[in-house]
Amino acid sequence: MNMGHANRWAAGALVLLLLLAAALRLESQRFDYGHPDEVISIKVAEQVAASGSLDTNWELADLPELFRKPQYNFSAYLLSGAAVLQLKEWSGDANGSTSLHWLRAWSALLGVATVGLTYLAGRQLFGAATGWCAALLVCFFPLLYQDSLYARPETFVSALTLACVSLLAPQRPPFRGGSLAAAFIAGVLIATKFSMVLLLPLLVLSPGLTGTRSLVSWDPPPARPWVNAWNQGKWLLLAVLLGFLAGAPHAIANAGAYLEGIQFLRRQYGTGHWPHGLVDADVVDRLAHAAGYFHATAGWLLPLAIAGALVAARRRQLRALFVFMVALATVVQFSVYPTFFERNLSHVIPLFMIFAAYGLVSLCSAVARRPLIRHGLTAVLLLMVMLPALQTTLTLRFDELPGEPAQRLAALRTSVERRFALPSLRVRWTEHEEDVREAMGHRCDGPMLVELLSAEDARSARLRQLLAERDGLREVARHSSMFSHVPPSTLHVYFTPTTVFLHRPPGAEACRQMAGGLVTAESVGDVLPLVQTTAESAWTPGGAALVTHDAHGSRDFHGSWSGSDALKGRLRMTVSVEGSRFLVLPYITGPRVHRQTIRISDAVTSKVILDSRPPFAPTWRFPFMRLPPGTRSVLIEAMDNGDGWGEWHAIGRPRALKAD
């Protein structure tokens, strides 16, 4: 075959793929969808473009209170967004497009660049066939397509990561100073997201700037390897610093704000953010959760990438294998956090697709020797392995984005409301029973129709069980998400989630007769007689963080914070309840409750009345429980078994119920 002719065909196919990627991404942006973080990109970029200061501190922008904090997260991306908005102003924009439209288009174009750079990096590592197959996989990978829809930094980071790898992958850089350019890009990446420091080991692949070899090589080491490493390393570190300064020029001068932004993210990922991730699970379960997400959305592409890495190891392609290990370390790092945001892995997905393509191409080369048969087999197998990812992407584009699931949900809502002659009460994402009760106005009688969002995980199932047992709310209808087979992710939260309709029939005192409920402070009666209190050192009077009194103005409560989140211990209170049918136990918690426990039992018979973890309560809550007939006194045990940040709770004096 004429190689020049073949290369022209390959180049033409790549151009067509890039045009297809551009059409898919840009055309999708005509639909009505949203992301809660897009306001950050818009407002900060507008502030920078208007002021010309290059200061990307979120505190300076007109952001909602939730985001208007001193921090420099996304800085380099926000500067690029400001440049896009400046271009919008210079162009006159006769169509009157908004900043959101321009920034989303910027993400889409960066998504197209990611496809092209995947081809380039794949070709540098394993050849043109691998590069082309990897580019096709990236074009239709659901997460990367989803990234292209939003005014967020994911496509920016993905494109720069691939540019960095493309400069470092060859044994010899494509131009002199290519290693310095890669280091500069790494600095820009860190200025965008601090977590990009995980990519710094890639700089070990840099060929020597003074004639030395790469630090990673199967060849014998040079005579003085550490001297050579320092000779090239000092210039690489300088380039990283310059890249960081270019991406976040005001961050060093405002180091406190920059570090506060890092702490903000650390708290977010370290304390859990349901339904994203597994708050209480161990490392193995969290890794399985992440693997389950990618398997559900993309089939066997990631296992195929591991197979490609094994082929590289067998063929002693150490440079390529090192790239894979850095990408794998990033996946593990972000998968073991209590909070799992799949978008944090977007920038390494193209690298995995390169190895998946390499594994596929290697298999076909081993099976079929003739070029025509080999190419045909590669095309068939490529289509087979990418089918789950393609199906997820096309479902998102042709079903979810046009709003068809939302229309079906609206029709079901109308039908259920007519059936029970009640308006449905829509409850935001929650895993806590008291949030549902608060949305119901703490009503404990009469009919009720509740519309509850479900992540289809253990926490959602447990919440529905509690609402059925304690509040008489039972499932009467359900609308399943198009992505109900996927573990909880942004596909659920930012699009049409699985929605469950719960109904409570008419009947006075419905939830009171079943167990108890949550009441308002106005429904709480007098304090019950306290027989005895025994408190370990962690539990002190008034020992709650930033809480000076309870909802009734009393300082007579015990808390386990007592000056430090690290304190642990038990509080025991014996209370006389003779003549009372109900017990109200005021409580408040810190941000984390998974190692807090409240146990209530009959002080005489030791029969357990309640033994559970208190639901998260940032303000004083007043749960009441029905006491078994004949109960004369109860033993209340509050246990703090957590020594981490935000792990504490406080108990007020037990009280009667006014209606009792």
Q: Write down the mean pLDDT value for the chain.
A: 89
Q: Which pLDDT belongs to residue 659?
A: 64
Q: Provide the 8-state DSSP code for 555.
A: -
pLDDT digits (tens, 9 = 90+) for 253-264: 999 999 988 888
Rg for the chain, CA atoms, rounded: 29
Rounded Cα distance between 407 and 119, Å, is 39
- At 505, phi and psi to the nearest 5? -75, 165
Closest CA to 146 of 251, 274, 298: 298
SS3 of 620, please?
coil
* Alpha-carbon torsion (356, 358, 363, 369), positive or negative: positive
* Alpha-carbon torsion (304, 306, 310, 311), positive or negative: positive
Q: Which pLDDT belongs to residue 559?
A: 94
Q: What is the DSSP secondary-structure string of 288-317?
A: HHHHHHHHHHHTTHHHHHHHHHHHHHHTT-
Domain locations along the chain: 3-218+241-400, 412-513, 520-657
Confidence of residue 216 (pLDDT cuts 50, 70, 90): very low
Q: Provide the 8-state DSSP code for 396.
A: I
Average pLDDT over residues 485-499: 92
* CB neighbours of residue 549 within 10 Å: 14
pLDDT digits (tens, 9 = 90+) for 343-353: 999 999 999 99
Domain covering 520-657 in this structure, CATH number: 2.60.120.940
User: Which has the higher per-residue pLDDT, 271 or 308?
Assistant: 308
pLDDT digits (tens, 9 = 90+) for 168-195: 887 666 666 788 899 999 999 999 999 9
At residue 420, does pLDDT exceed 60?
Answer: yes
Residue 244 tokens, joined: 């960081």
Q: Which pLDDT belongs to residue 217?
A: 46
SS3 of 440, please?
coil
At residue 57, does pLDDT exceed 50?
Answer: yes
User: Which has the higher per-residue pLDDT, 147 or 219?
Assistant: 147
Q: Which pLDDT belongs to residue 6?
A: 52
Confidence of residue 65 (pLDDT cuts 50, 70, 90): confident
Rounded Cα distance between 67 and 451, Å, is 28
pLDDT digits (tens, 9 = 90+) for 368-416: 888 888 889 999 999 999 999 999 999 999 999 999 999 999 999 999 9
Single pTM value for the model: 0.80
Rounded Cα distance between 486 and 404, Å, is 19
Lowest mean pLDDT, pick from 87-96, 155-164, 467-476: 87-96
Q: Which pLDDT belongs to residue 508?
A: 40
pLDDT digits (tens, 9 = 90+) for 93-111: 757 789 999 999 999 999 9
SS3 of 618, please?
coil
User: Which has the higher per-residue pLDDT, 66 or 535?
Assistant: 535
pLDDT digits (tens, 9 = 90+) for 551-595: 888 889 999 998 888 899 999 999 999 988 889 999 999 998 888
Q: Provide the 8-state DSSP code for 650.
A: E
Q: Which pLDDT belongs to residue 200?
A: 94
Considering the chain, what percentage of its residues have pLDDT values greater than 70?
91
pLDDT digits (tens, 9 = 90+) for 217-236: 444 445 555 556 676 778 88
* Amino acid sitting at position 437: R
Residue 147 tokens, joined: 């990234």
Rounded Cα distance between 144 and 117, Å, is 13
